[in-house]
């Protein structure tokens, strides 16, 4: 896999807390794409950017962000959350995003695999990911990593 501009193969690695702001542009791209699927879009890019808090290394639980880095630039990321609700460690692949120029090269699958490896190493007892069934590339990456569809109704509320 080569950089679309001819550079090196992206390296997948866990970001340090001080590096977390580097994913903000891609996280904002993801939020804009999600908002754009609403008709009409509920919020503009500027409104989403203003409401997006600064990325933090922790909350009640842990944030772990794997990034695909190509020539010092973030080409994609997988945001993993680990927490213990009192029944053992649980995990969630909270966000997965690959820049459009890097898609269809297996980068999403590599990022998801890094997240699943983290869950295994931490002995997570339950992990989940939420996505729309129409998001076929993401579904393929999640299934390749061992995630399976469940018979569950998910209701959402957005303020």
C-alpha span between 76 and 81 (Å, rounded): 17
Q: What was the pLDDT predicted at 57?
A: 65
Q: What is the tens place of the pLDDT at every residue in 5-59?
A: 566 789 999 999 999 999 999 999 988 887 766 556 667 778 878 877 676 665 5
- Strand intervals (E) in 3-159: 11-14, 58-59, 61-70, 73-83, 90-98, 126-129
Q: What was the pLDDT predicted at 144?
A: 95
Asked whether residue 103 is assigned to any structural domain, the reply reads yes
Whether the upstream peptide bond of residue 40 has omega within 30° of 0, thus cis, is yes
Asked whether residue 154 is assigned to any structural domain, the reply reads no
Asked whether residue 5 is assigned to any structural domain, the reply reads no
Q: What's the CATH code of the domain at 105?
A: 3.40.630.30
Asked whether residue 150 is assigned to any structural domain, the reply reads no
Q: What was the pLDDT predicted at 26?
A: 92
Asked whether residue 152 is assigned to any structural domain, the reply reads no
Q: What is the pTM of this model?
A: 0.77
Residue 23 CB partners (closer than 8 Å, separation 6+): 15, 55, 65, 67, 74, 77, 79
Total domains in the chain come to 1
C-alpha span between 113 and 138 (Å, rounded): 12
Asked whether residue 156 is assigned to any structural domain, the reply reads no
Q: What is the tens place of the pLDDT at every residue in 101-131?
A: 999 999 999 999 999 999 999 999 899 999 8
Q: What was the pLDDT predicted at 87?
A: 73
CA dihedral 50, 73, 69, 127 (to 10 degrees): 10
DSSP assignments along 121-145, one per residue: HTT-SEEEE---TT-HHHHHHHHHT
C-alpha span between 17 and 5 (Å, rounded): 29
Range of the domain at 30: 11-144
Asked whether residue 3 is assigned to any structural domain, the reply reads no
Asked whether residue 159 is assigned to any structural domain, the reply reads no
């Amino acid at each position: 896999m080569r950089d679309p501009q001819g550079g090196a193969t992206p390296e997948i690695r866990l970001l340090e807390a001080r590096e977390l702001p580097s994913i903000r542009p891609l996280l904002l791209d993801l939020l804009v794409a999600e908002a754009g699927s609403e008709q009409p879009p509920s919020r503009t890019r500027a409104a989403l950017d203003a409401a997006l808090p600064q990325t933090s290394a922790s909350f009640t639980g842990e944030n772990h962000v794997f990034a695909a880095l190509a020539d010092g630039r973030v080409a994609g990321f997988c945001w993993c959350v680990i927490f213990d609700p009192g029944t053992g460690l649980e995990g969630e692949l909270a966000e997965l995003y690959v820049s459009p120029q890097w898609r269809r090269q297996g980068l999403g699958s590599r990022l998801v695999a890094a997240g699943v490896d983290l869950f295994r190493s931490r002995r997570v007892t339950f992990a989940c990911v939420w996505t729309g069934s129409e998001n076929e590339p993401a579904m393929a990456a999640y299934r390749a990593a061992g995630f399976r569809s469940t018979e569950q109704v998910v209701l959402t509320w957005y303020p």
